[in-house]
């Protein structure tokens, strides 16, 4: 690309008007992502009409939506770290090590690690989007039903890794999540399953109400007894920025999850949720003997945050190059492009370079703005845990009810969230991990739909999953994940000893 063309696209992406719009989008996204239940998809969906009605043009409209996307994916981390309530599903793995750091008084430090990791992962994703879009899109086309089923199985194998101290309890939680995923209409035959006469269950149990219940309401219910104790004291809080030496000590943990997340994001339908869990799982599987995942290990926060932020760039790849959305957010962006007379696909790069190339630069710019806002606000957002819990817990309840209701304007979803909160409280009391339920609820439908569609193909055989190279490789990795996860588990080692 000639230098004058590059400078022209840079001016389109970084002129004062564009900077202001991206900054506004990132700030709104952080707030939306931090509120339980208000996901990145919902934020982009709600604000897309505003972006288009302002008649800003294709690039500026997309710039606002990209800013919201980047900000919301990061914003869900804040509540995940501070109150063990992920604002977005992709932030669920961050709870595993982020909240223990908060309990140690290191909430601000955890937020800084998450901000840095989100920035590195997001920039990596944007750079790969800029230079390797055609290659990754061609590779993504090789994924069919068999490969997506194998990818789902690989994701489910992570239950062994994220189960905590008791693998058996983690497996039980995962099976419970798979059972919840079967509620609703059969994806192939269209027959209601386990709906018990409730029309609201025909579309399945809402993922967001389950997430809010298992994390937000469960945390509130578990802390209510503490409010009645005399001498209730606020937690101690220390704040410090990581040193440059610490940053370079984790340099590889910053880099490879962002690359992995970008690759996962380039697969249509995968999304940031899977990227986050896969990155956390791989970081834990590659852990050194001194690492303490689940007890406030910075590597756990860095891996999950870098992976999910890298996915934001990856999810744009199939949308721009193939006209196929990488996740729910890019599906909304796809509509925004079409409404403004642009047809995503290979010809978009040739006919509308003045829109495509500034998008690449805007992704990078949005991550820089997110970095600045995140670092500047970390000291103040971390002080939220100093709010008296007699005030904080009711606020969390109100926000949780709003988040559960706003998805479909349904009180039934609020009831599901409260019911799952009671179940989550019991799980916390008897030390059953909640993360496997979330993971199974994400991947269960993906595994079932692709398995059944693969077996409905003419001449289908179960051996097809092992004769296709990509699906066989993913299933082999899944088996290796289970074996290494069990082998490294403390309970396994005690039995061997």
For residue 310, what pLDDT is reported?
93
Return d(Cα 63, Cα 192) in angstroms, integer: 41
Instruction: Answer whether 88's CB lies under 8 Å from 33's CB.
Output: yes
For residue 244, what pLDDT is reported?
85
For residue 308, what pLDDT is reported?
94
Chain centroid to CA 147:
21
For residues 10, 16, 22, 25, the Cα torsion angle rounded to the nearest 10 degrees is -170
Q: What is the DSSP letter of 158?
A: G
List, for residues 30-56, the tens digit of each pLDDT value: 998 888 777 788 888 877 777 777 666
Chain centroid to CA 283:
16
Return d(Cα 436, Cα 130) in angstroms, integer: 35
Instruction: Answer whether 376's CB lies under 8 Å from 9's CB.
Output: no
Residues of the chain with pLDDT under 50: 231, 493-497
From residue 406, alpha-carbon distances to 39, 292, 295, 442, 483 in Å are: 11, 37, 34, 20, 41
Instruction: Answer whether 77's CB lies under 8 Å from 373's CB.
Output: no
> Rounded to 5, what percent of the chain is helix, strand, coil?
75, 0, 25
For residue 420, what pLDDT is reported?
95
Helices (H), 270-410: 271-285, 298-322, 328-339, 346-351, 353-381, 389-406
Nearest to 136 by CA among 6, 329, 270: 270
Chain centroid to CA 32:
14
For residue 497, what pLDDT is reported?
42
Joined tokens for residue 57: 């043009």
Dihedral sign from CA coordinates of 456, 459, 461, 467: negative
Instruction: Answer whether 126's CB lies under 8 Å from 313's CB.
Output: yes
- Three-state secondary structure readout of 244-279: HHHHHHCHHHHHHHHHHHHHHHCCCCCHHHHHHHHH
| Helix 145-156, helix 469-488: angle, nearest 10 | 0
φ, ψ dihedrals at 77, nearest 5°: -70, -35
Joined tokens for residue 163: 């189960």
For residue 495, what pLDDT is reported?
43
pTM of structure: 0.87
């Amino acid at each position: 690309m000639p230098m004058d063309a590059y400078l022209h696209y840079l001016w389109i992406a970084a002129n004062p008007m564009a900077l202001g719009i991206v900054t506004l989008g990132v700030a709104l996204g952080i707030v939306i992502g931090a509120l339980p239940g208000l996901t990145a998809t919902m934020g982009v969906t709600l604000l897309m009409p505003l972006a288009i009605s302002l008649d800003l043009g294709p690039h500026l409209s997309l710039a606002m939506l990209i800013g919201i996307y980047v900000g919301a994916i990061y914003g869900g981390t804040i509540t995940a770290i501070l109150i063990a309530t992920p604002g977005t599903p992709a932030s669920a793995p961050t709870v595993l090590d982020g909240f223990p750091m908060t309990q140690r008084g290191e909430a601000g430090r955890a937020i800084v690690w998450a901000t840095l990791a989100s920035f590195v992962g997001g920039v990596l994703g944007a750079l790969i989007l800029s230079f390797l879009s055609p290659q990754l899109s061609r590779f993504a086309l090789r994924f069919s039903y068999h490969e997506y089923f194998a990818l789902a199985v690989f994701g489910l194998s992570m239950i062994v890794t994220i189960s905590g101290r008791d693998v058996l309890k983690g497996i039980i939680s995962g099976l419970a999540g798979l059972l919840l995923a079967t509620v609703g209409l059969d994806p192939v035959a269209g027959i209601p399953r386990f709906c018990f006469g409730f029309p609201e269950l025909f579309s399945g149990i809402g993922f967001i109400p389950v997430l809010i219940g298992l994390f937000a309401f469960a945390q509130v219910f578990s802390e209510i007894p503490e409010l009645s104790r005399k001498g209730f004291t606020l937690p101690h809080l220390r704040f410090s920025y990581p040193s440059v030496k610490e940053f370079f000590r984790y340099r590889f943990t910053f880099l490879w999850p962002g690359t992995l997340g970008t690759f996962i994001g380039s697969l249509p339908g995968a999304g940031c949720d899977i990227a986050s869990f896969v990155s956390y799982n791989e970081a834990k599987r590659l852990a050194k003997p001194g690492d303490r995942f689940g007890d406030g290990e910075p590597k756990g926060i860095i891996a999950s945050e870098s992976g999910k932020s890298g996915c934001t760039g990856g999810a744009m790849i199939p949308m721009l190059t193939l006209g196929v959305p990488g996740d729910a957010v890019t599906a909304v962006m796809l509509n925004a492009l079409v409404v403004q007379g642009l047809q995503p696909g290979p010809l978009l790069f040739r006919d509308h370079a003045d829109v495509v190339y500034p998008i690449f630069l805007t992704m990078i710019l949005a991550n820089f703005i997110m970095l600045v806002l995140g670092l500047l606000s970390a000291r103040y957002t971390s002080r939220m845990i100093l709010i008296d819990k007699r005030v904080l817990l009711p606020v969390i309840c109100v926000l949780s009810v709003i988040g559960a209701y706003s998805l479909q304007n349904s009180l039934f979803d609020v009831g599901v969230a409260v019911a799952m909160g009671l179940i989550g409280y019991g799980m916390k009391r008897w030390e059953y991990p909640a993360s496997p339920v979330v993971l199974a609820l994400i991947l269960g439908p993906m595994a079932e739909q692709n398995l059944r569609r693969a077996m409905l193909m003419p001449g289908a055989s179960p051996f097809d999953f092992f004769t296709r190279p990509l699906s066989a490789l993913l299933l082999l990795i899944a088996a290796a994940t289970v074996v290494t996860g069990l082998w490294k588990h403390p309970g396994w080692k005690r039995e061997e000893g």
